[in-house]
Each structure stands twice: as structure tokens, then as C-alpha cells.
Structure 1
Amino acid sequence: MSSGWEIRMSNSKGIPYYFNATTKESSWDAPSELSDEQIKSLPGAHHLSSGSSGGVETITASHLLVKHKDSRRPSSWKEANITRTKEEAIEILRGYQAQFGDSREKFEELANLHSDCSSHSQKGNLGPFAKGQMQKPFEEAAFALQVGEFSDITSTDSGVHIILRTA
């Protein structure tokens, strides 16, 4: 019985993802309905071991980004011309921080509504990444977190972020 799932390699991230040819659904995470044995027998399963044999550690994280006028690209899906200062962006993030506390669900809801990153439509989920794929301050903050832990405000060339490590 075919589940429709296969494993493909992401051209942009260079890491494997799951794709269902029947439903056209794709996911960074393994489909929950499949056992480890079923996953190992999927078409493209060789992609799962190709990157990890070199000891490349990947983590998965979500973030909530607030850009400011000095950001690398001071525009987003919700604002064509961002004019706020970095200090104002930090204040906005502090407000979001107070709203979500330690709730992943509330964080994802706020990221979906307010993040200046295109990942807002995935509730801030950036998918898996390895060292060297993100800006250094973001990478250092994300890799320092335990799964389920939130970062404090982290500043990069893109703006200011709160990061949630999800895997």
C-alpha cells in the first residue's frame, strides 16, 4: 500500500524533505502516520543519510521578526517601507514576548500575524538548517537553545528576532 510520500532534496537548503505526490503536501518533518521502517523504505530515502553521515547537525526553529529602517531590506509582506527605529522594533517584540510568555501556540499565532518574514505563513517555521546557513547571531542564538526554548531578542542584519527552537 503506497502512502504517496517520498523524500526529496531541497534545492535551496540542501537538506531532505517529505513530499506527498498524491496530495502535493510537503513537510520538513516526517509524516506522523509513518513508522521509522516505512520512512526508510520510501522512494528517495537515500537522501536522509547522505547529509548526516558527515556529522552535519541540523536544528529546526521558528522566529518572529520585526524589521526596522536599518534592516538589510526595510520592507515586508505587510509594509512596503519600514520606517521604525531599531529601538521601536525591540519594543514591539517585547510586547509580543509579554503576550506569548512560554506558549508555543501563542508565539506561532503572533508570528503568523505579525512577523516581517515570509515564514509568517508557516507560523514562523524556518524548517531545518545547519551551521553556516543563517546569519551568525541568529545561528548562535538558535543552536544555543534547547528544544522548546525561546531566545531573548536577537539582532541581525535582517532585523530583531525572537527564536523558538522546535527540533
Structure 2
Amino acid sequence: MPRCGLATIILLLLMLLPACKDQDRLPSQVLLRIDGRTVSLEQFQHDFAQILPRDRVLPKDEEQALRRSYLAQRIDHELLLAEATRRKLSVTPAELQQAIASHLDRYPSGDFERMLADQGLAVEDWQRLLQEQLLVEKVLALMVRDKVDIADEEINAYFAAHRQSFARPEQVKARQITVPDEAQGRQALEMLRQGTPFAEVARRCSISPDADQGGDMGTFARGEMPEAFDKAVFGLPAGRISDLTESDYGYHIFLVEQHLPARPPDLDTVRGEIVAQLRKQQEEQLYQDWLQSLRQEAAIEIDWTLM
């Protein structure tokens, strides 16, 4: 059976959204039984149809492989819900209302309801599925996330193994003005010499995508930008404006705002990044191990003749 990643369950819940409205009307021919939970063939087929590509017809063998992969994901989903029930986990009305409000806050008034209506999904059905999602989150927190423990020895070992990847090369923080020809470049330079702020000239004259941000290029190291850019900015003191520089993209004027010297690897600086990476790895391993134990202990019945 394919292994299902920690994030897949939530994605599966979202894929199941359009199927909820008609569940009560579907015939009861059972495809899957898991610890007292059942999934009908018609329900499965309806849900599976939601993930098929809309713009092309899959070859029969490819569709069958996708169907089996989806079945494995559905089994894992039902296993988690069954485990939540066994552990007497529940979602309180206050928790559900808070989650509903959080979703609605992302949309202008009425847009979310219209989106559900376009999908043929009643608000009540969406709320039931959201409650199910919250329940899955609770069982994952209890059985996986709360059990993660990152020891200092692990952090030190990871840093030692990846030490050079944490080194930072010399960088600059810069802005640019890009124009299509030299004449416009000279005009922009004259505006700067007359005291017009660099960001304002960039917004008025530049054709580069960062013009709306006042030409802000962010921070970059040597080799991340065209060679002509590196030659213009890395030898330029902070606060200085470059001469007109030509490249394949046009003519440029640069303002160096800050030089950031190369930084050797430093554990204290990157500790949080290492902890996040180790936590992700440990969560995934704990999840896979726990899920495998659920699969082995559960009573799973599949009517393969219906597949």
C-alpha cells in the first residue's frame, strides 16, 4: 500500500468537499469497511472523479493506478478518523465557529458562500467536513506532533554534517532603475543628481518588474545576477549611485544600500532553521510508523470485485 505523507490527509479532505452533498442519497453497496466505518462504491467513485484531470482522458492503466493510490489515501483518512473516535477526541462548537470565522475572513462578504454554491455544496456540508478536518488535526497533534523531541545532540550533528551549507557569501542590498536606451538612462541620472529620490525615479522611469517597489532588488550574492550587475554593485560603496551600466536587459543605474560581509557558519544563528528541518523529518517518520501500526491493527475489508 502506498505511503501517505502527513500533509496528504488534509489535502484529501479538501478533495472530498464536492462529494458531501450527495452522500445521503448514494446507494449502500459497500466498497470499504474500516473498524466500523464504511465507504460505498458510489461515494468512492464520486470522490475519485473530483481528482481526475478535466482536460484529458487518462489511459486505462494510468487511471487504474491513480484509483488504487486514491484508495490507499482514503483508507488512511478513515483510519485517522477511527483512531480519533477511539481516543474520544471531539471538536467543540467554539472551536468549529473559530475555524469557520477564520475561513470567512479570507473572503470578501458573500464570496465564500457563492464559491460553495458554484461547487454545488451546502454550507452545512462544508461545515461538517471542516469539523472532520479539525478532528484529524487533533489526532495528528496527539499522536505525532506532540511527541517530537529534538535533542541538542541531533542539532549539533546536523550542523556538523551540513556546516558549509550554512555559510553566507558576501552580499549586497541594492536598488535599480532599468530603461530601454542610453538617452533615457542619462535623463534618469540627471533626475537623481538634481536630488529626486532613487525610489521615486525608479517608479517613474524603470521598466523592470521591481519598479513598483522603488527598484528594490533585495539582497543577493555574486553570481545570482548577471555579471554586469555584479561588476557594477560589488565595488560600489553603500549609499553611492552607479554610472549607467549596459546589459542584455537595457541600461541600468544601481544604488547600493548595504554591503553584507561573508559570514562563516554559526550554529546559534541557524539553530532555529535546523530545529525546523529536524522537526519536519521526525514528524514524518513518527507519522509513517504510527500509520503503519494502525494499518496492521485495523480490520480493513475491501471488496476488490467492485474495483
Q: Please classify the TM superposition score into its range, dividing by the shorter chain length.
A: 0.5 to 0.7
Q: Measure how far apart 1:54 and its partner are.
A: 2.3
Q: Which residue of 2 aligns with 1:121?
A: 212
Matched, 1:63 2:176: yes
- Secondary structure of the residue that 2:199 maps to in structure 1? helix
Opposite residue 242 of structure 2, the aligned amino acid is S
Structure number, greater radius of gyration: 2
Instruction: Give 1:139's aligned residue.
Output: 230
Give the Cα separation in 1 of the matches to 2:204 and 2:231: 26
Partners of 2:179 and 2:199 lie apart in 1 by 14
Question: Contact 1:138–1:155 (CA<8 Å) still a contact in 2?
Answer: no
The answer on 1:99 being equivalent to 2:191 is yes
1:52: how far off?
8.7
2:253 partner amino acid? I
| Superposition misfits of 4+ residues, deviation over 6 angstroms | none
**Ranges in structure 1 where 5+ consecutive residues have no aligned partner:** 1-49, 68-88
2:194 and 2:232 mapped to 1: Cα distance? 17
1:148-167 equivalences under 5 Å are 148-167=239-258
Deviations 1:107-158 (A, max 9, x none): 2101012111010011001000000101001111110100000110001111
Which position in structure 1 is the counterpart of 2:138?
none
Task: Give the partner amino acid of 2:228.
Answer: P
The SS at the match of 1:166 is: strand
Q: Secondary structure at the match of 1:133?
A: coil
RMSD: 2.3
Q: 1 CA distance for matches of 2:216 and 2:234?
A: 15
Match of 2:201 in 1: 110
CA distance in 2 between partners of 1:120 and 1:145 (Å): 21
Tell me which residue corresponds to 1:12.
none
Q: Which has the higher helix share?
A: 2
Structure 2 unaligned runs (5+)?
Answer: 1-162, 259-307
Query: Would the aligned equivalents of 1:150 and 1:165 in 2 still touch at CA under 8 Å?
Result: yes
Give TM-score, length-normalised by structure 2: 0.30
Q: 1:51 to 1:64 in 2, by over 3 A?
A: farther
User: How many residues end up aligned between the 2 structures?
Assistant: 97
Instruction: Return the TM-score normalized by structure 1.
Output: 0.53
Q: Partners of 1:144 and 1:102 in 2: how far apart?
A: 24
The offset of 1:51, in angstroms, is 8.2
How big is each residue's C-alpha offset from its partner over 1:89-119, in whole Å with a ceiling of 9 and x where there is no partner?
111111111111174x622101012111010
**What is the identity, as a one-letter code, of the residue corresponding to 1:100?**
L
Counterpart Cα distance in 2 of 1:124 and 1:110: 9
Map 1:9-48 to 2 at 5 A: none
**Comparing both structures, which one devotes a greater share of its residues to strand?**
1
Distance in 2 (CA, whole Å) between partners of 1:64 and 1:55 is 27
AA paired with 2:189?
Q
One-letter identity of the residue aligned with 2:178:
L
2-side partners of 1:102 and 1:56: how far apart? 35
Identical-residue share of aligned pairs (%): 30
User: What's the secondary structure of 1:61's corresponding residue?
Assistant: strand
